[in-house]
Amino acid sequence: MGKMIIGRYLPGNSWIHRLDPRCKFIATFIFVAIVFLANNWLTYLLLGIFVLGAVTLSQVSLRFFIKGVRPMIFLILFTVALQIFLTPGGQPFWQWGIFSLSVLSIKNGAFIFVRFLLIIFISTLLTITTTPLQMADAIGSILKPLKVVHFPVEEVALMLSIALQFIPLLSDETTKIMNAQRARGVDFGDGNILRQIKAIIPILIPLFVSSFNIAYDLSIAMESRGYQGSEGRSKYRQLNWNSADSLVMMIFVLLTILLIILRS
């Protein structure tokens, strides 16, 4: 849990850090959408090179990203296994009941594994190069047209930014609770699966209590600073869209065109 990097911000002065947060938000959503255009090894290779280039420009070690994927590897492998053994198609060379293996299912499973990694890498790149306050400003600016229909844009942006900040907070709190339980003799890896699940229950109660305490302290801090919603608030941080942000959008347009061309 201590290696969870989604939701954490790493200070820096790289080219990616200096981009407008709205640009990074839009680019991330575009990437998540166009990654489903890839359907062969050439298109996934293109996306992989693109992501590695973006990671390099962020000046964050690739090893840091790989370590951050480890806490989610079980979920990824479980999803891939379902895809491999339960997806019909092709001539199966092994079958047992509803489970089967074929060259096509293994290929699709590999594609899904790569797709997961690419999406995790690019979404993590957004959070580690953008502060929560910048994210809130970016979301508020992107959703501003919805104010016409009285949509609470600023409140939604604030909730999303707080939720992102809670991910590393709860991760660190879970690690502390587990270490405290281990010090009292709890072995989370001992016994069968049912016993290991029961061992997690003593973690959940203090984690919920700690979460409510953090939320309460945050609400008190906001009230003491005079927060009363978005009505009448001014902006200290101004977002500026520059040529670098336009260049990023052009690169994504080019990337989308290449994926469409290279699709089999």
Residue 3 placed within a domain: no
Residue 236 placed within a domain: yes
Q: Which residues of the chain have pLDDT under 50?
A: 1-2
Residue 232 placed within a domain: yes
pLDDT at site 183: 82
Q: State the pTM of this model.
A: 0.73
pLDDT at site 252: 94
C-alpha 35/C-alpha 43 separation (Å) is: 9
Residue 49 placed within a domain: yes
pLDDT at site 90: 62
pLDDT at site 110: 84
pLDDT at site 245: 92
C-alpha 5/C-alpha 62 separation (Å) is: 12
Query: Which helix H or strand E contains 100, and what residues bound it?
Result: strand 99-101
Contacts of 79 (CB under 8 A, 6+ apart): 112, 116
pLDDT at site 189: 64
pLDDT at site 256: 93
Structural domain boundaries enclosing 60: 21-262
Residue 11 placed within a domain: no
Residue 13 placed within a domain: no
pLDDT at site 166: 78
Residue 9 placed within a domain: no
Contacts of 99 (CB under 8 A, 6+ apart): 85, 86
**Domain count across the chain:** 1
Q: What is the 3-class SS of 178-213, one letter each residue?
A: HHHHHHCCCCCCCCCHHHHHHHHHHHHHHHHHHHHH
pLDDT at site 95: 67
Residue 200 placed within a domain: yes
pLDDT at site 2: 47
